[in-house]
Amino acid sequence: MAAAHSVGFSHCGKFANRIYNFSRGNPVDPTLNRAYATQLQQMCPRNVDPRIAINMDPITPNTFDNTYFKNLQQGKGLFTSDQILYTDLKSRPTVDAWAGNSVAFQQAFITAITKLGRVGVKTGRGGNIRTDCGVLGR
């Protein structure tokens, strides 16, 4: 659930492709707010210590709130997978609704996390525990 990115941090290497090597002729992801991209480059210079991490929410990093969605509206989604929620016209209305209504966001999150809790834990050969969320275990 992307809204969980309202709190927490990320190591620079997990999003460096958006601020340095996005595409030929365009090193910075064009969906990224330019001022925010510059700020990220200052906090995460090339060849930065891989232990350096920054907040996923630059505005209210220690509060689980709907600011995450307001950030997306301003091009301040740290990960491509987050920012696409706003750039994709199918999900943009949801981002707009939750950015403008904290109560609606909180209720939707409660409903989603409750459903997720009922999915059940897969174990043995039917499960997969990841030590790195971006890498499928073996």
Residue 56 lies in a domain: yes
pTM of the complete model? 0.83
What is the domain extent for residue 82? Answer: 2-116
**Domain total in the chain:** 1
Residue 136 lies in a domain: no
Rounded Cα distance between 120 and 72, Å, is 31
pLDDT for the residue numbered 96: 97
pLDDT for the residue numbered 3: 66
Helix (H) or strand (E) holding 110: helix 102-117
Using DSSP's 3-state secondary structure scheme, residue 58 falls into coil
Residue 91 lies in a domain: yes
Residue 127 lies in a domain: no
pLDDT for the residue numbered 38: 96
Cite the annotated binding site by residue number: 5, 57, 60, 65
Residue 133 lies in a domain: no
Cite the annotated binding site for heme b by residue number: 5
Residue 77 lies in a domain: yes
pLDDT for the residue numbered 2: 59
Residue 130 lies in a domain: no
Residue 106 lies in a domain: yes
Q: How far are the Cα atoms of 32, 34, 43, 78, 114 from residue 93, in angstroms, in the given order?
A: 19, 23, 32, 20, 23
Q: What is the mean pLDDT of each successive set of 10 residues along the chain, which is 138 residues long? A: 78 94 89 96 94 93 94 96 95 96 94 88 73 69
Cite the annotated binding site for Ca(2+) by residue number: 57, 60, 65
pLDDT for the residue numbered 116: 86
Q: What is the CATH number of the domain that holds 72?
A: 1.10.420.10
Q: How far are the Cα atoms of 17, 76, 86 from residue 95, in angstroms, in the given order?
A: 24, 13, 6
